């Protein structure tokens, strides 16, 4: 499995897929730099008249609702519709799911368009699942970590999506498999937009890897290992952000294979 994941990392660098990002203002610069350092090519655009054309030339799409508003939600729907038409993968990042009724209303509309992959933290994945459960039972669970897994399974089933819960342990789930990754570092939570970066890198892998669970695992494995290695050289969250970009660009096979912790 580790060799396969490393091969996928090389595939992204070789094919350099063009990724269309409709994402939030806070992370655009970092997201673009992370895609470049991974070997992909970023496009950030949102004008209604060019959403279909942009999707035609890109291989995958990121939908991140962090700083959504009415105009941008329409941009998202136009791009998603064309991605679905062309059967190109798109990844939903439900930033702040559950924070406001508006966010939940928009998310319900977006998730109904069937994202190929969904990535969020435990709280976002649980909110997204609750938001899409009509029964009052919801997705019950005794423990919170279990509840996130139950929520992810529910979403994977209902929308035929691959779902990634990112956190201290990243959990990637589809209707058949569940894979756990235990890399990363607590300091990564002190940088804004690490999750958004993860989502964009997942999109890059989904553009060139047929199996979307494998694509998601490859992306999260890369970022987790890179973050862990970069944290070991960092004095704080500022230098960590820089070191992650450097390491995404320079990571070797030996570093990746020896650091990665994966279980299925």
Residues in contact with a second copy by CB under 8 A are 24-30, 32-33, 36-37, 42-50, 53-54, 57, 66-71, 96, 99-103, 190-193, 234-239, 241-250
151 assigned to a ligand binding site:
no
For the CB of residue 87, give the shortest distance to a second copy in the complex, in Å.
21
Distance of CA 81 to the CA centre of its chain: 19
For the CB of residue 72, give the shortest distance to a second copy in the complex, in Å.
9
For the CB of residue 174, give the shortest distance to a second copy in the complex, in Å.
31
For the CB of residue 79, give the shortest distance to a second copy in the complex, in Å.
12
Q: 29 or 160: whose CB is closer to a second copy?
A: 29
For 185, residues 6+ apart whose C-beta sits below 8 A from its C-beta are 227, 228, 230, 231, 232, 240
Q: 1 or 189: whose CB is closer to a second copy?
A: 189
Q: Which residues face 181 on adjacent strands?
A: 170, 262
For the CB of residue 184, give the shortest distance to a second copy in the complex, in Å.
16
For the CB of residue 189, give the shortest distance to a second copy in the complex, in Å.
8
Residue 258 contacts residue 208 (beta carbons within 8 Å): no
Q: 24 or 216: whose CB is closer to a second copy?
A: 24
For 135, residues 6+ apart whose C-beta sits below 8 A from its C-beta are none
103 assigned to a ligand binding site:
no
What are the C-alpha distances in Å from 12 to residues 111, 119, 222?
26, 19, 12
Distance CA 217, CA 206 (A): 10
* SS3 state at 180: strand
Q: 1 or 43: whose CB is closer to a second copy?
A: 43
For 220, residues 6+ apart whose C-beta sits below 8 A from its C-beta are 164, 166, 170, 172, 181, 198, 202
For 215, residues 6+ apart whose C-beta sits below 8 A from its C-beta are 8, 89, 117, 202, 205, 206, 208, 209
188 assigned to a ligand binding site:
no
Q: 126 or 163: whose CB is closer to a second copy?
A: 126
Tally the C-alpha atoms within 13 A of residue 2's C-alpha that lie toward its C-beta.
13
Q: 24 or 151: whose CB is closer to a second copy?
A: 24
193 assigned to a ligand binding site:
yes
Tokens of 97: 């799911």
Bind-site residues for ATP: 119, 166
Bind-site residues for substrate: 44, 193
Bind-site residues: 44, 119, 166, 193
């Amino acid at each position: 499995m580790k060799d396969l994941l490393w091969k996928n990392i090389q595939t992204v660098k070789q094919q350099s897929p063009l990724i269309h990002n409709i994402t939030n203002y806070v992370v655009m610069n970092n997201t673009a730099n992370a895609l470049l350092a991974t070997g992909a090519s970023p496009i950030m655009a949102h004008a209604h008249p060019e959403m279909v054309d942009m999707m035609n030339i890109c291989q995958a799409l990121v939908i991140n609702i962090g700083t959504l508003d009415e105009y941008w939600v329409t941009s998202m729907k136009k791009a998603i519709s064309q991605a679905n038409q062309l059967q190109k993968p798109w990844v939903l990042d439900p930033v702040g799911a559950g924070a406001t009724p508006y966010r939940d209303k928009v998310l319900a509309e977006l998730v109904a368009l069937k994202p190929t992959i969904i990535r969020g933290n435990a709280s976002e994945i649980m909110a997204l699942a609750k938001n899409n459960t009509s029964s009052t039972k919801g997705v019950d669970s005794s423990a919170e970590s279990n509840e996130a897994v139950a929520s992810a399974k529910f979403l994977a089933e209902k929308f035929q999506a691959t779902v990634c819960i990112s956190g201290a342990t990243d959990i990637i789930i589809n209707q058949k498999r569940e894979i756990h990754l235990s890399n990363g570092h607590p300091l990564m939570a002190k940088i804004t937009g690490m999750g958004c970066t993860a989502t964009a890198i997942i999109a890059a892998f989904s553009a060139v890897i047929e199996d979307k669970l494998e694509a998601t695992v490859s992306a999260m494995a890369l970022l987790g290992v890179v973050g862990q290695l970069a944290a070991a050289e960092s004095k704080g969250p500022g230098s960590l952000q820089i070191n992650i970009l450097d390491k995404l660009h320079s990571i070797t096979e030996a570093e990746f294979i020896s650091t990665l912790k994966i279980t299925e």
